[in-house]
Amino acid sequence: MTSGRQRWLGPAMFLPAVVYVIALVGVPFVLAFLYSVGDVKVGSLGYHFVGLKNFASVLRNPTFLRALRNSFLFTISSQVLVLIGANVLALVLKDAFRGRRLLRFLILLPWVAPVSIGSIGWKWILDSLYSVINWVLVRFHLVKPFSAPMWLGEPKLAMISVILVHTWHMLPFATVIILAGWTAIPRDIPEAAAVDGAGFFRRLFQIQIPMMLPIMNVAVLFGAIFTFTDMTVIYILTRGGPYDTTQVLPSMAFFTGILGGDLAEGAAISIFLVPLLVLVAWLMLRTAHRSEIA
Amino acid sequence: MAVVRTRGLTKLFRKGQVGAVVDVSLESREGEFLVLLGPSGSGKTTLLRMIAGLEEPTSGEIWIGEKLVNDWTPRQRRIAMVFQSYALYPHLTVFGNIVFPLKAVRVPKEERRKKAEWAAGLLGIGRLLNRRPRELSGGERQRVALARAIVREPSLFLLDEPLSNLDAKLRASAREELEQFQKRIGTTTLYVTHDQVEAMAMGDRVAVMNHGSVRQIGTPAEVYDEPADTFVATFLGSPPMNLVETGTVTAGFRPEHFLPAGFLPPQERDLPLRFRVGHEEYLGAERILYGVVEGGPFDGRKVVSRIAATHAVRFAPDVVYDFAVAERNLKFFDPGSGMRTAPVHLQ
């Protein structure tokens, strides 16, 4: 009797998740793909297949090429910073000391706080007139008043600012993952290395980090894909400006497709990322798998 | 080669006293195999870790050779340690594991290879050099750990229960091999174990530890035959020494010395005891008799006798037999402190 019920129970429990994924990931994805090879604009009624015309037009657009380059710059530099920062933080947090719990909680805060709220905070911190950073710099006579840096107004500074704010937001998650990796290494092993004559850096780079590579791969995989597809920080801080110098592919797709009304070209821009992300994911999973079986 | 010496070495932990070490003064001899033996929580591993530099002493001094090494890092102490888990580096090959200590002290590549091959050859693991630790058996891992330890030709060898992860059969052969190996390389060795058989079989000397202090240090025969206190007397030997309180002293005698009166050599002055046999355990090579003494100075005390299989005498339960202990095999302890005292004449 129960066997008949059990046969349906599994699929029934599974169904909401499947529906959810199809409705919110599958359908938009297929739609985006169809848009990218069609001529759809906001408000247009018909659909004509145009082949790769949208992609060709996108590739001729210098802003697109800049956004593509920025996407890589944004992702790679923030991931490098996150990885270094998370390792340092994990190194500090793994040993017991007074106030560790409080510190762990504080470090986790940027992750729990909504990105938009955090970013708006940073927008004020980096504001051209009311920036607290500039106020401090002026008070310490490090810069002259009225010639203080325009954190979000100068192309290079703006890029640095969005990278740093995004790093700030991503750091806690990576720290938690890497901290878990640290605690999974048996205490004996770094101790054996110490007795074997290895100093701090040799232990770190030849023993502990190689042992954590699979876990760091996971952290980087998640971080990279999340960063590649995210535009919150850029949208709030710079809107891709000044002069599109901080534009990344997701923000450009949004501005072109949703705000600009050219759905087909927006879709082409966002679809452009897919093969790349698949490749990144595949590479990461492969290295993770390799270091696991080796 | 070097000797290791501790003076008043103490380590206290905030969380209780398990594993603490209290005022240990110990000195090894040149090239000696010194065993630290004690029950779990007796502080023997903590003592070893302090000597290795992995644990900071609360007070006291550690000397290696002629140097006070308290403030030295493990790296500076130039010692080798084999951990209970072997602590092999899982991401490196056997070769990578063995050369790691050489890399750490920047030995040139060619010399590293030669030394690794020498160490691997010495332990018979030459054919495993390209494997990873997870592809090795327990015995092979133990050899890799030993090869990694000797490759740097350390002045001091620290071994923390290196045989406890091996199965019983392998352990016996590994024990003998390890002992031969130590004799051949002649490096001063400190060996931690809770297994008295290992300690007796391998140690040049045995330091028996309990509650963080060394209760006695001596050759296996000394600690077994002339225990310094009741702890050593009962920790060594299986079954342990019979301890009976009588008047103002505690008397002790080993089960193998408590025998039917006829088995004792005739010239010995002995203490006759009437023994009511309770039950018998047959162990093949020997029999263990549990029972109660009747009459005399030990009246009513439970004691154990151990009789070699070569004495083919039958014992019936609940029957009283004439047993005896040679007087020279009676040891006396202070009932309060448990310390050994001068012999007393019992009658």
Tens-digit pLDDT profile for residues A117-127: 888 888 888 77
Interface contact A195-B105, CB threshold 8 A: no
Mean pLDDT over all residues of chain A? 82
Find chain A residues with C-beta within 8 A of B83's C-beta.
188, 191-192
CB contact (8 A) between residue B54 and residue A291 = no
The region, left, alpha or beta by phi > 0 then psi within -120 to 50, assigned to residue A214 is alpha
The answer to whether ipTM exceeds 0.85 is no
A124: left (phi over 0), alpha (psi -120 to 50) or beta: alpha
Say yes or no: A184 contacts chain B, CB-CB below 8 A. Answer: no
**A164-181: pLDDT as tens digits:** 888 888 888 888 888 888
CATH 2.40.50.140 fits B239-341, yes or no: yes
Which residues of B fall within a CB distance of 8 Å from A202?
Answer: 103-104
Inter-residue contact B194 to B161 (CB < 8 Å): yes
CA distance to partner chain A, nearest, from residue B160 (Å): 11
pLDDT tops 80 at residue A130: no
Find residue B341's DSSP bridge partners.
B332
Q: What is the structure's pLDDT at B270?
A: 86
HEC letters along A42-96: CCCCCCCCCCCHHHHHHHHCHHHHHHHHHHHHHHHHHHHHHHHHHHHHHHHHCCC
Closest chain A residue by Cα to residue B87: A189
Using alpha carbons only, give the angle B94, B98, B101 rounded to the nearest 5 degrees: 145
Count how many residues are written for chain B: 347
Which residue in chain B is spatially nearest to A207 when comparing CA positions? B89
pLDDT value for A291: 61
Show me where the domains of chain B are located. 4-230, 239-341
* B75–A contact, CB cutoff 8 A: yes
Rounded Cα distance, A226 and B235, in Å: 62
Q: Is the pLDDT of residue A293 over 50?
A: no
Q: What is the pLDDT of residue B82?
A: 92
Instruction: For B100, name the nearest residue in chain A, comparing CA atoms only.
Output: A196
Residue B65: strand, helix, or coil: coil
Residue A216 lies in a domain: yes
A196–B contact, CB cutoff 8 A: yes
Beta carbons of B89 and A199 less than 8 Å apart: no
- Angstroms from A205 CA to nearest CA on chain B: 12
CA dist., res. B339 & res. B347, Å (int): 22
Q: Which of B86, B100, B141 to mutate to test the interface with A (most CBs of A within 10 A)?
A: B100
In a domain, A61, yes or no: no
For residue B78, the model assigns a pLDDT of 87
Q: Check residue A294 and give its pLDDT.
A: 44
- Residues of chain A contacting residue B164, judged by C-beta atoms under 8 Å apart: none
Domain residue limits at A113? 66-248+276-293
Whether A171 is in a domain gets the answer yes
A285 within a domain of the structure (yes/no): yes
Contact B100 A198 (CB under 8 A): yes
Measure the CA angle with vertex B188, ends B184 and B191; round to 5°: 100
Does residue A114 lie within any of the structural domains? Answer: yes
Question: Which residue in A has a C-alpha nearest to residue B82's C-alpha?
Answer: A192
Burial of B66 (0-12, 13-18, 19+ CB in 10 A): exposed
Query: What CA–CA distances, in Å, run from B272 to A227, B312, B326, B332?
Result: 89, 21, 9, 17
Q: Which pLDDT band, with edges at 50, 70 and 90, does A60 fall under?
A: confident
Check whether B284 has a pLDDT greater than 70.
yes
Q: What is the pLDDT of residue A241?
A: 73
Three-state SS annotation for B71-94? CCCHHHHCEEEECCCCCCCCCCCH
Q: Is some CB atom of chain B closer than 8 A to the CB atom of A204? A: no
- Is residue B300 predicted with pLDDT exceeding 50? yes
Record: contact A196-B79, CB cut-off 8 A = no
CATH value at residue A157: 1.10.3720.10
Ordered DSSP codes for A224-251: HHHHHT--HHHHHHTTT-STTTT--HHH
The verdict on residue A179 lying in a domain is yes
Helix, strand, or coil (residue B262) = helix
From the list B91, B104, B158, the residue facing A196 with the nearest CB is B104
| SS3 state of residue A181 | helix
Q: How far apart are CA A193 and CA A185, in angstroms?
A: 13
Residue A70 pLDDT > 60? yes
Instruction: Find which of A92-101, A219-228, B93-102 is predicted with most confidence, using mean pLDDT.
Output: B93-102
Distance CA A179, CA A169 (A): 17
Question: A16 in a domain, yes or no?
Answer: no
Q: How many domains does chain A have?
A: 1
Name the A residues in 211-240 with CB < 8 Å from any B CB. Answer: 211, 213
Closest alpha carbon to B231 in B339, B331, B93 = B339
Three-class DSSP category at B333: strand
In a domain, A73, yes or no: yes
Of A195, A196, A210, the CB nearest to B91: A210
Q: Which residues face B9 on adjacent strands?
A: B24
Q: Searching chain B, which residue's CA lies closest to the CA of residue A200?
A: B75
User: What DSSP string runs through B141-189?
Assistant: HHHHHHHHHHTT--SEEEEESTTTTS-HHHHHHHHHHHHHHHHHH--EE
Q: Which fold has domain B4-230?
A: Rossmann fold (3.40.50)
Q: What is the reported pLDDT for A221?
A: 82
B314 vs A262, higher pLDDT: B314
